[in-house]
Chain A
């Protein structure tokens, strides 16, 4: 407690020597600063005593809040987060890590607790239990300080209808605001400066939200259901904007139930159900773990090669093939991804025309999530 004693002495010295009003105000600020540091000590002590809490040296935490974290440094650390609404548990013991420069996606069905989790991360909701550390700050305690470092695009939020684009920029631009014109230009809104919010298309609105989210050079960007309700062209526009963020090394936490969006934009995804993490990894890893089976279908015409048992035997021996079926000449092969190449090779090696109805179904993140959700539902039922 040497440092606390030193602080007390420092404040006491000031109290003796400072009598002018301005100095008294400064003293009050010092006392508040001292109190904050005492709270930090208390908080860190509590943190180190709880296994569910994250032990972060205070100096490191404060450091993080003042400068942009280096690539790989933790930006968001969530441990044992729990939040209920009227007895209904929405987030149930969530652990989450986001490192600087990562684009991490929270995926899951509606009601999985994704939005509530990020609202807790932003300090918009107070967790019932658990610990959250964002850029070295506690969102519940340091919400005002933290929000200036986070750029948010919130689910179901808007702007006043008559607010113009340039006015929205003026309203949300803080002291760290970057070049507004360049940002509007970058997101294709420079010609819409005088447009009211109500007169903008869905894609333009979302791009404006992105501009507002990035305006104050945030250290973390949270995007919740970024492309909800947009047509495919507008979605692509918004995606390309996020790709620009990714390429610039911005840390992004993306909440979505659009799995093609997560697959296209996120380096890592966290699949959630009922407020819990089911699995996490890169989209490719999740697909490989939970939906690795590809399906290859084609028809062998009677004239070219009979779909007899010889053919089936050959196909059965293809590396990676698990099941083969033949329904009136239509061959269906289920197997792993290697099977695609080997089946293609087999078709070409026959010296026959490649079947015109050749179709290959490769599972995506959606298939992986559905498998995960089904498995989790089954486990839940068995648990009951």
Chain B
């Protein structure tokens, strides 16, 4: 048996040292998060695939589809089709970020042992996930602004009927899909599989629930499907209060539930 009781003076030193350590650890952690975020932002700006898919694809498809049905509310569109698509394509940015950009990025880091290197270097477990969350939200903000900037002179930006609800829809939708992206990235074993699964999830959601034909021209089973697709829910939570088509409370709540569950699961899985 080894007796290891400390003397009271030593104990005070221990407390002081431990307190210093706690303070030091907090500042070191902040510094690490800042460094990781800076580095990830820099790398994000250098990735042509990500830039193309998140920034260029939504704008190009919006310009093509938005101009295909004219400006009259017909063909099953309840409002000006161009405005319908401008409001819808904001969600495309969210989907592309959450279903393609983040899963591929995170899975490739895992596959190549970058995450292990971060862990071994002492980056806290949540640090990388937090950096990805910040980058995902920033990407959505920048890509969404670019989309509106391009849409403005071409089709005009539809008046936002209920700004608060639209903001809530964008916030909750972005959080939900960034969390889904982090979750997929931590679950899928490789960048290739993340790309395959991401595209498989993205395109049906995109075509059925966001950027495809309006639900009124779809068959009944397809319409039913659009009601449960997460990206379609997020789209309704943004588009309906934007275009004064309803308050979309159900869609907003549904998206919020998805956001909470996905965030909880992503936080649980984001151990490096």
A residues with a Cβ closer than 8 A to B are 1-4, 6-7, 10, 26, 29-30, 32-34, 36-37, 41, 44-45, 47-49, 55, 57-59, 62, 66, 122, 124, 144-145, 147-148, 150, 152, 154, 156-160, 162-163, 167, 170-175, 212
Contact = CB atoms under 8 A, between A and B. Distances in A.
A125 B267 CA distance: 19
Contacts of A48: 1-2, 4
B122 A157 contact: no
Contacts of A41: 4-5
Nearest to A150: B120
Contact of B117 (A44, A55, A157): A157
Given A48-B2, A62-B14, A175-B24, 18 more contacts: A3-B6, A26-B19, A29-B23, A30-B19, A33-B21, A55-B2, A59-B4, A59-B10, A62-B17, A147-B119, A147-B122, A150-B120, A154-B116, A160-B43, A162-B46, A162-B47, A171-B36, A175-B31
B25 to A, nearest CB: 7
Contacts of A175: 24, 28, 31
B58 to A, nearest CB: 23
Nearest to B35: A171
Contacts, number: 121
Contacts of B14: 33, 37, 62
Nearest to B16: A33
Contact of B120 (A145, A147, A160): A147
B22 A32 contact: yes
Given A33-B14, A37-B14, A152 B2 contact: no
Contacts of B43: 160, 162-163
Interface stretch (B106-114, B163-171, B179-187): B106-114
A2 B28 CA distance: 33
B4 A58 contact: yes
Contact of B116 (A4, A59, A157, A170): A157
B11 interface: yes
A148 B19 CA distance: 18
27 contacts: A3-B5, A3-B7, A6-B8, A7-B11, A10-B12, A29-B19, A32-B18, A33-B14, A33-B18, A33-B19, A34-B15, A37-B18, A57-B4, A59-B10, A122-B120, A124-B116, A124-B119, A147-B120, A148-B28, A157-B117, A158-B114, A158-B117, A160-B43, A160-B109, A163-B43, A170-B39, A212-B121
Given A33-B14, A34-B15, A175-B31, A2 B5 contact: yes
A119 to B, nearest CB: 9
B206 to A, nearest CB: 28
B124 interface: yes
Nearest to A43: B4
Contacts of A159: 114, 117
A212 B36 CA distance: 15
